Structure 1
Amino acid sequence: MPRTPVRRIAALAAAAALFPALAACGGGSQDGAGGGEAAADELVVYSGRNEKLIAPLIEKLEKSTGVDVQVRYGDSAELAAQILEEGERTKAGLFFSQDAGALGALSDAGALAKLPEKSLGKVDKAFRGSEGDWVGVSGRARVIAYNADDVDADDVPDSVHELTEPEWKGKVGYAPTNASFQAFVTGMRVLEGEDATRTWLKDFKANQPKEYAKNTAVLDAVDSGEVSLGLINHYYWYEKAAEEGEDKVTARIHFLPGGDPGALVNVAGVGVLGSSGQNEAAKKAVDYLLSEEAQAYFAEETKEYPLAAGVSSPVEDLPPLDSLEAPDIDLGRLDSLQETLEMLEDVGMV
């Protein structure tokens, strides 16, 4: 039976309680009082993307659109729960989420406004909400990192299911408390079901993978030879190669074929809050984030995939997005984070 919006809100709020408190940035009051009408050139953004990355882009947005922007930074799940708690009183005009799941929860609750087709049409249907009320602005692929001195490229697993085999016992790094790993597990639940996912998690844990706090630590462990393989997002490797020089990086990455759940392509995306009275300014911001300038910013700064049609990544040797064999999944269904956290806790991973 599908979950009701109320249950989805409760699940998201419960998940949000696991994350740190919000950080506020920008001028004006941040006390959460009242939505209502706002000037056409004013916009409040709740951003699940970090300030270091987004602040320079906000400056570019303001210059390009003439919109005065205030930003509240925090965790995506926590901010989505904040929006749902505030309801029609929310000051947020635009929600900028680190992942699709939080946008899916707001969509299910009816909190997001429909976006113009001219905006939606810039992005492939796979990377936008099925209800037409949110759109991805950058993408990241799950990959397997491997130590090239220890593992031949032809021997790297083509499926996460192979990671439970005896030959990889104690040789795989992962970050169970990281949001991207949890989104991958949620994707597996959607694609393969609860029982199959629980079985994989138990078998994977029994194979004694090594835990790390975040993706960068997993990649560093692969690069140093501490582990042979690691589960990460693609852009961490490209950032490391750009910073250190590819010839100085022993780790390499493998994009999984065949629609494997380990090949999930998740997105950072945006949705306009329907009750905020800031729709005009928010939609200007959406169009700017899908502009060539903003798309190039993500591609260059984070090595993520640009999602707007006609914009290609300048990152050398990055496989084209349309060449990836990602699983066919409605990204909005990644909203069931609480159920994933419960499963991870139950099998002893968090």
Structure 2
Amino acid sequence: MTDRAKSLPALEPIAQQGRLSGVKLSGEWNLRNLCDAPGLRRQLRNYARNRALHWDLEAIEVLDNAAALLLWEAWGQTLPAGLVLRPEHQRMLERWQEQEIPDTAPPRRHIGVILLFLYHTLVDFCRQTADLIALLGQLLLDVGYLLRHPGSVPWSEISITIYESGVRALGITALVGFLIGIVLSYLSALQLKLFGAEIYIIDILGLSVIRELGPLLAAILVAGRSGSAMTAQIGIMRVTEELDALSAMGISHSLRLVLPKVAALAIVMPLIGVWTSSAALLGGMFSAQNTLDISYMQFFLKLPDTVPLLNVFIGLLKSAVFGFLIALVACHFGFRIKPNTESLGNETTNSVVASITIVIMVDAVFAILFMGIGMPI
């Protein structure tokens, strides 16, 4: 028998007069050997259920803390009556007897925990709302300051934000708008053919795209693309302590970081909304020409008659409000980021979710307020 086989932990039952009277343990009882012998641990638990057995541990060569804890838990956290072992091993087991092993069972869920969670959620919501209102108030103060000091307007920051959030978003917004126009036109054509009302595809596309889908799609795309970038930018400045450096130099965070982003998105979002609506109408025209045989010229000539000009202004107003809110929410969550990477990821995700949610809620408010305005007679 090799030395390796001799050192393996072993468990041997002891029988007297034809019945089991005890258990003898031998070998090296350490964590490494026990991990390689899961069947041995199962036998140990089975024998430990019989409280009348006596245990002989004198033949154990090595006993570490992990094996001692395994024996201690198998015996029900108490030493058996007929236990024979070496003095050094006895001290190791008595150490576990003196220590209290914490209960690792998961805590029970009860109504108090649920109410406490709801309370903390409500408090956090109220605190964030107050911070957002404070940020909006500071923004208004900055606008008043710039009206008195026009030379302090951060034109360069506004310009770069317009380029990053507007010009570089033209490709994705045009693609999504064009595809949405095709899908909307195709699905509407299937229903209009049943009633012989193919010409009304222009009314459906014009009102839905110019008034609702164009500004909403543009706002959702910008919230996911530019809003997250704004939050991450402020968060990186927090991590690299650039915000502390600006404060040390007496430079206002809201004047140099928040105001340019809010102003830029409020300016560029109506333009992106018009761009997205135009791409969606082109996609709808393309689909209508192929499915309903409505020519491009007919579409162009009938569109101004079916969609009053007031709908265009409603869409522009909604886009400007969407841009303002997206930038404000992005900056709010950016300043909430703590100087660690986990907080950076969490708050960026929260920024995108909150921006999209607020955009959809405000769009629903606009739909209710302007329900009877700009509709064709």
- For normalisation by structure 2, the TM-score amounts to 0.19
Higher relative contact order (CA 8 A, sep 6+): 1
Which structure has the larger Rg over C-alpha atoms?
Answer: 2
- For normalisation by structure 1, the TM-score amounts to 0.20
The structure with the largest helix share of the pair is 2
The structure with the largest strand share of the pair is 1
